[in-house]
Chains A and B, each alone.
Chain A
Amino acid sequence: MNTVLSRRGLLALGGGLAVAFSLRAEEPARPGSLKGTPSLDAWIRVAPDGRVTVFTGKAELGQGIKTALLQVAAEQLDVPVAHIDLVTADTMRTPNEGFTAGSHSMQDSGTAILNAAAQVRGVLVAAAARDLGVAAETLTTVDGTVHAADGRSAGYGPLAATLNLHIDAEPTSTLKDPSAYRSMGTPMPRVDIPAKLTGGQAYVQDMRLPGMLHARAIRQPSVGAMLLDIDTGPIEAMPGVVTVVRQGSYLAVVARKEWQAVKAMRALEAAAQWRETASLPDQATVLDLLAGLPSRVIPVLDWKGRAGAPMKRLKARYTRPYLMHGAIGPSCAVAQLTDGTMTVWTHTQGVYPLRSALAGLLRMPVDRVHCIHVEGSGCYGHNAADDVAGDAVLIARAVPGHPIRVQWMREQEHTNEPYGAAMIAEVEGAIDAAGNIVDWNYGVWSNTHNRRPNVGGLMLQNAALPDPLPVPPPAPIPMPEGGGERNSNPIYAFPNAKVVSHFIPEMPVRVSALRSLGAYLNVFAIESFMDELAEAANADPVDFRLRHLKDERAKAVVSLAADKFGWGAGKRGEGRGFGFARYKNLGAYCAIALALRVEHETGRIRLGRVVAAVDSGQVVNPDGIRNQIEGAIVQAASWTMYETVRFDRQRILSRDWSGYPILRFPAAPESISVHIVPRPGQPFLGTGEAGQGPMAAAIANAVRDAAGVRLRDVPLSAVRVKAAVGV
């Protein structure tokens, strides 16, 4: 079954930004991704037996999107979830919704399916009204059946069989009254979890296709390394080895069994001679290096207003190092070349952009490449998911007909994934005699946060091939979403404020999108500095925030987190910290209050109680929202307390979990509770990246409260804390 896809211009810019535009100027604006793909049957089909198929261009990344989209469709269609099949990102079947990123899935796809489902239900009810000879308003829908007041009924299947759903959606839909919702807003167990708990096939790593062979790539040991001569003869004679693939400095091996491929890969690594250059910067001074590189100045905002005279002025600089996505499962892909078509099973976040990139890498027409999303290990942004698909297709082309499964090794994932960019923020602020902020001056320095491949030149393999494609220059992501400047615009109502982003094109280390992009550092900086100013004003940090907020939903979230934590009953010096942001100032609101202890002897931070409040607009799966916020809290705790990618002038040194330690169970918080502000009928606000920045700031603010030291450089490692405490 192939969906007739809309070819209207859906331009995927990446970094979580899918900008849709219409070719016809007079066309009305449709909600969510209906803008780019307006046809109802691109989203929803009803089979003659009443079974419903829902299509989404977004992908399950472990965030629970499948379950939430099923709930949305079930609600607006009035069909049980069990009667719905969901097809996710597939370049031959689903709409092109760009990347599953930027906490956009509910906003884009959820909104499209919400409206498409409501409209399909409307079309079905209208058909039933006609068939039954009654007014549509007198009909009700339950579990896939339209009921008339007189007891007659008509099933969706037979009704749909007479209808054409290949019609464009209307700009507005008649949605159900949120008070009547049965599925949306109610916790639903995730549909993908049972297979993961029983050893079912759940991941691309678990695929076993007939005739499948296992492959491993031999990575360049450092950027730009050239493969000198290598005698592959002895390795080709190893048990199970099918072939060695070599193109320039690109080297890979195919074997019948996986362990044979691993052993052959290790033998090739031992035999390979490389010419390397010292292409990496000095880690000790990399932040200063970045600050000194040429940059493009991007004004973010410039507010001028009347305010009291500044009485006290503070200035501070905050930084973060390169951070790793660090998927627990190294990236994997399966590819097969059959009859001139390359089929790729991949855990990419963007099947359509990846299709273009792979076609470029292979010099094949785009319509001969078919990308199908299959879940992988959680990615948290642009990790090696796309690059391993590059390996799979290059190798599959050399062994036509056979499905080729490639999985990276741990050190390949650690040393070759594109990292989250190191960043610097500088802020200066002033308070007046009443303790109100009257001036705010903020600058942020960063590389790009989006090198997601949509052309072959952006694939890792490109530089190793003998005839590399041109590499497009990095580009900033424009506000209001922003890349390095994401969330650099404060949500607080300051009378005077100036925010400037310094976009640094030159990338001393390979970087791309890591969950929340620049928001992690910007929120860390803003929310740390808010506490610094509150202290200067001798104000309580929560009161200080509230009196600078005008947005009522922001105030509600801040107040809820403070209340549930019991902030008002606490005292200074107890190790309490607070952090708040609205993601991108467009998405979910999240406030976090926490308690921690600082072990003076070791510098270790011990996390206690963590309380979060979140406003994600209309709630679909409340347990999904809680799970995402809990995850953000723990992941951000790990980034903030432990993590730094280490390198020397030639190679990445963080090769495994000993060289890049992350949070383990004993360091997890004592408890986390997440409280949701219900907003029935409001637009969906993406949740997946709302908690990272607030958590980082809450930790730093609590360390200040507990130990009297203000730490402005992430990570707040034990070594740094101990040095600051000075015991």
Chain B
Amino acid sequence: MIRLTVNGQQHEVDAEADTPLLYVLRDDLGLNGAKFGCGLGQCGACTVLVDGQPVFSCLTPVSVLAERQVRTIEGLGGNAVQRAFEDVQAAQCGYCIAGMVMRATALLEHNPHPHEDEIRAYMSGNLCRCGTHMRILEAVRQAAGQGVKP
């Protein structure tokens, strides 16, 4: 059995030690937010926070997380980033959006007033194919104005 804490709740899951966190979140804990995109850390659809830092859950073995705090979009509780994404309708198909929200949340928790170039550089690990980039950037700027606390 493997122990991990997700959104403040402790879990023990029956998973093989090499299982990436993504599959435990989706398959064992029934959480939909983190998405499989590439399995290679190239697209960010699987982004979650581990101790406040964005990680690619598709590449993070679940066995290294026992003492660490995992946060997913299900645990944000409607934070300023989620509200801003809703407000500016920053989604088309939306498959990348949960990962975008998680990465933007990490950015704004550490850097409440990022410059435009900082936002773009920080978000560059996450891909969107529908071309919703301008709205995502606008949502991050709007959320920054409202303040995002851990």
A interface residue numbers (CB < 8 A to B): 61-64, 189-190, 192-194, 196-203, 205-206, 208, 214, 239, 257-260, 262, 326-330, 375-378, 380, 407, 409-410, 623, 627-628, 630-635, 637-638, 656-658, 662-666, 668-669, 671-672
Check B86 against A194 for contact (C-beta < 8 Å).
Answer: yes
**Known pairs A328-B37, A657-B43, A664-B127; A259 contacts B93 (CB<8 A):** no
Which residues from B are CB-within-8-Å of A632? 131
Q: Which residues of the partner chain A approach B133 to less than 8 Å between Cβ atoms?
A: 634, 663, 665, 668
Decide yes or no whether B80 CB sits under 8 A from chain A.
Answer: no
A687: min CB distance to chain B, Å: 12
Given A62-B94, A378-B93, A410-B37, 19 further pairs, Cβ under 8 A: A190-B91, A193-B89, A197-B73, A197-B97, A199-B33, A206-B32, A327-B129, A328-B37, A328-B45, A329-B35, A378-B130, A627-B132, A631-B130, A635-B131, A656-B42, A657-B42, A662-B129, A666-B121, A668-B134
Residues of A within 8 A of B92 (CB): 62-64, 378, 627-628, 631
- Which among A196, A327, A633, A662 is the interface contact of B97 at CB below 8 angstroms? A196
Please give, as numbers and ranges, the residues of chain B lying within 8 Å of A666 by CB-CB distance.
117, 120-121, 124
Structural contact, A257 and B27, CB atoms closer than 8 A: yes
A259 and B20 in contact (CB under 8 A), knowing A201-B32, A631-B132? yes
Give Cα distance in the complex from A258 to B78, angstroms: 29
A129 to B24: give the CA distance in the assembly, Å. Answer: 61
Q: Which residues of chain A are within 8 angstroms of B128 by Cβ–Cβ distance?
A: 328
6 A-B pairs with the lowest CB-CB distances in the bound complex, closest first: A62-B93, A634-B131, A378-B93, A199-B33, A196-B94, A631-B131
Q: Please determine whether A623 and B120 come into contact, CB atoms closer than 8 angstroms.
A: no
Partner of B135, one of A375, A630, A669: A630
Bound CA–CA A206/B38 (angstroms)? 16
| Closest chain B residue, CB of each to CB of A638 | B131
Q: How far is the CA of A201 from the CA of B123 in the complex (A)?
A: 25
C-alpha gap A623/B89 in the complex (Å): 8
Given the complex of chains A and B, what is the CA–CA distance between A296 and B56 in angstroms?
Answer: 49
B15 adjacent to chain A (CB < 8 Å): yes
**Contact status A197-B43, CB under 8 Å:** no
28 sample A-B contacts, Cβ–Cβ < 8 Å, listed by A number: A62-B95, A64-B92, A193-B89, A193-B94, A197-B82, A197-B91, A198-B73, A198-B74, A200-B32, A202-B94, A205-B36, A206-B32, A259-B20, A262-B23, A328-B127, A328-B128, A328-B129, A329-B45, A376-B93, A378-B92, A378-B130, A632-B131, A634-B134, A657-B40, A658-B42, A664-B127, A665-B121, A672-B134
Q: Which residue of A lies closest to B33 (CB)?
A: A199
- B97-145 residues at the A interface, CB under 8 angstroms: 97-98, 101, 117, 119-121, 123-124, 126-137
Least distance between B56 CB and chain A CB atoms (Å): 13
Contact (Cβ within 8 A) A407 B36: yes
Q: Which A-chain residue is minimally distant from B83 (CB atoms)?
A: A197
Give the residue of A199, A260, A329, A377 whose beta carbon is less than 8 angstroms from that of B73.
A199
Let me know if B12 is at the binding interface, CB within 8 A: no
Nearest CB of A to B65, in Å = 15
Q: How far is the CA of A562 from the CA of B48 in the complex (A)?
A: 43
- How far apart sit A4 and B16, CA to CA, in the bound complex (Å)? 49
Please indicate the chain B residues that have their CB under 8 angstroms from the CB of A634 in the complex: 131-134
Contacts of B95 in A (CB 8 A): 62, 203, 327-329, 376-378
A193 to B132, CA, bound (A): 13
Question: In the complex, A638→B130 CA distance in Å?
Answer: 11
Instruction: Say whether, besides A199-B33, A206-B32, A193 and B130 are in contact (CB < 8 Å).
Output: no
Which of A197, A200, A326, A378 has the most chain B CB within a 10 Å cutoff? A197
**Residues in chain B near residue A262, CB distance under 8 A:** 23
A376 to B94, CA, bound (A): 9
Instruction: For A208, give the chain B residue with the smallest CB separation.
Output: B30
Q: Check B47 for interface membership: any CB of A closer than 8 A.
A: no
B45-88 at interface with A (beta carbon < 8 Å): 45, 72-74, 78, 82, 85-86
Q: How far is the CA of A328 from the CA of B125 in the complex (A)?
A: 13
B19 on the A face (CB < 8 A): yes
A205: chain B residues at CB < 8 Å are 35-36
B4 at interface by CB-CB < 8 Å = no
Chain B residue at minimal CB-CB distance from A64:
B92
The smallest beta-carbon distance between B103 and chain A, in angstroms, is 10
B129 contacts A635, C-beta separation under 8 Å: yes
- Complex Cα distance A193/B101, Å? 13
Shortest CB-to-CB span from A374 to chain B, Å, is: 13
CB atoms of B124 and A664 under 8 A apart: yes
Contacts of B135 in A (CB 8 A): 627, 630
| Cα separation A668 to B130 with both chains bound (whole Å) | 12
Q: B89 contacts which chain A residues (CB < 8 A)? A: 189-190, 193, 623, 627
Most buried by B among A61, A214, A410: A410
Determine the residue in chain A with the shortest Cβ distance to B26: A258
> Complex Cα distance A258/B45, Å?
17
Residues of B within 8 A of A669 (CB): 134
Cα–Cα, bound, A28→B91 (Å)? 41
B72 CB to closest chain A CB (Å) equals 7
